[in-house]
Amino acid sequence: MNMNDKADAVTKPKQRKLLFSAGLSWMFDAMDVGLISFIIAALAAEWSLLPEQTGLFTSINSIGMAVGAAISGILADKYGRKAILLWTLLIFSVASGLSALATSFTVLCLLRFVAGFGLGGELPVASTLVSESVPAKERGRAVVLLESFWAAGWILSALIAYFVIPKYGWQAAFILGAVPALYALYLRKSIQDPPRYVRSTERLTLGQRFMSVWASPHRKSTIMLWILWFTVVFSYYGMFLWLPTVMGLKGFSLVKSFEYVLIMTLAQLPGYFTAAYLIEKLGRKFVLVVYLLLTAVSAAWFGNATSEGMLIAAGMCLSFFNLGAWGGMYAYTPELYPTSVRSTGVGLAASFGRVGGIIAPFMVGMLVARQVQIGSIFWIFFVTILIGAAAVLWLGTETKGKELID
């Protein structure tokens, strides 16, 4: 066994532990976001919410995520990945638990903003941490596998919605969302800042980091990433947060809607795993462009499905390809910036993307209130996703197998 093999043998268990530790925090994030789509369907019935209020509630979460992604990305470049990861995990957990005590729509929206701040901040920091801790030949696969924990979180949220909400109410779901606060105590000892970040002595000011992200070496990548993030987040939150409600609009009961969404959510896992395999074989651009194109086709199919079987099949394809594209996006983004501004670049791209997550759910609520057909609404997502695919195809650069920039 040569020295490189020995080094791999030592570091691989550490990498697996890091991936699993960060992945569980990612899973809790997804569980919380997923629960919102189910809770709002139950709340709309219990509190007699208007479609506009439903859209506002889901958008508030994304407003918090947009602010959290930008601020946390900036802070992680200054104070380290580990510290910001832990604080964001605690923030969203506590706010989620307190949401169970809300007695008015206004208070609940305020708490969801705070929870969204923590959620939005944790995701780009976690992906940056894993990306910086794994060798180039495995980096893309590792980050996509990290993203696969998102599917586990959505599946967990669907199970809670199916078994807990009908019996114990939406408050119980929020209480379960506070569990990650306990997990933060474990993370405090189990993860460390990446050696690459620790070795980096360049600590730029906020203004220098923002200017660097838009400087000529990175401008083209930043434009591409901001378009990509906006289109992917816009379509995802516009479609998936409304899935249980859309199923209700198509004539299914609340419990039946939750059951079908659970089936669709299961398709996310193979979407991630195939993307994780292909991203190191065929490259980041290939995975993103192909999976986005097939997401667009699936969106048009789902919105215009006319039978129960078509609806489930289209929903499964939508989950498979959309979440595979998410994995590719998270793997690709940190690779385009140097260590000194990496978390800032990822955070700002994610923050701009969250603007799409703010607009889309509210837009769907407004369109549903005006009795616009679901099929017409999903054609909007079809076009949006195609724009994201075109940006990657024409402006993206391939990073497969390349070392991160220091």
pLDDT tens-digit series, residues 242-267: 776 666 666 666 556 667 777 777 88
pTM: 0.82
Give 86-132 as a 3 state SS string.
Answer: HHHHHHHHHHHHHHCCCCCHHHHHHHHHHHHHHHHHHHHHHHHHHHH
- Class of domain 13-188+214-395 (CATH, top level): mainly alpha
Q: Taking residues 2-16, report their average pLDDT.
A: 53
The helix/strand/coil state of 51 is: helix
Listing DSSP states for 212-260 in one string gives HHTSHHHHHHHHHHHHHHHHHHHHHHHHHTTHHHHHHHTT--HHHHHHH
Predicted pLDDT at 21: 84
Q: 166 vs 38, 41, 42, 59, 169, CA distance in Å?
A: 11, 11, 8, 24, 6
What is the residue extent of each domain of the chain? 13-188+214-395
Q: Span 270-287, mean pLDDT?
A: 92
Residue-wise pLDDT tens digits, 361-391:
778 878 888 888 888 899 999 999 999 999 9
